[in-house]
Amino acid sequence: MNKLTVIIVALLVIVGGFLFYNLSQSNNSDIVSLDDGISAGNSGEVFGESEMIAETPEQTTNPKTYAIEIKSFSFQNQELTINSGDTVIWTNMDSVSHTITSDSGSELNSNYLSKSQSYSHTFTQAGTYDYHCAPHPYMKGKIIVN
Ligand SMILES: [Cu+2]
């Protein structure tokens, strides 16, 4: 009975030490990721965050989402510079329908957006993306992806 108790206590100490070691490792990788330049965000889930970084070490910045309003027959940000992986959401504020349509190619190809409808697109390749509104070709916009 006494020996069994000693063995159980010993096992608990070993398991506890192992868990503490892993916790230290997690904290270390978290600090490294901050040094890599990850923009400060919510760090509520330390375990989840370090797991994600461990699986995708090539990802060094958090993707961002940008909003562009279409108002008075105009794209409110006529030129916007973003990073690869970022998402842009266009929202039509006019009563007239508009589109987001690439000048060349088919990267941007929205349906007709009626009032308060949105179109979103995630850019995964660096480049300059010129676009217009199909029924109003004088409405112009440009997304620069770094
Ligand atoms: Cu339009």
Residue 121 C-alpha to ligand 1 middle, in angstroms?
18
Residue 70 C-alpha to ligand 1 middle, in angstroms?
8
Residue 64's φ and ψ, nearest 5 degrees, are: -115, 160
Residue 131 C-alpha to ligand 1 middle, in angstroms?
11
pLDDT tens-place string over residues 16-53: 554 444 444 444 434 333 344 444 444 444 444 444 44
User: Which overall architecture, per CATH, does domain 65-145 show?
Assistant: Sandwich (2.60)
Surrounding residues of ion ligand 1, Cβ less than 5 A: 98, 133, 136, 139
The domain limits of the chain are 2-55, 65-145
Please provide the size of the chain in residues: 146
pLDDT tens-place string over residues 43-86: 444 444 444 445 545 556 799 999 999 999 999 999 999 999 99
Cβ–Cβ contacts within 10 Å for residue 54, how many?
Answer: 12
pLDDT tens-place string over residues 106-135: 999 999 999 999 999 999 999 999 999 999
Measured CA to CA in angstroms, residue 48 lies from 26, 27, 29, 85 at distances of 10, 12, 12, 21
CA dihedral 13, 16, 20, 21 (to 10 degrees): 70
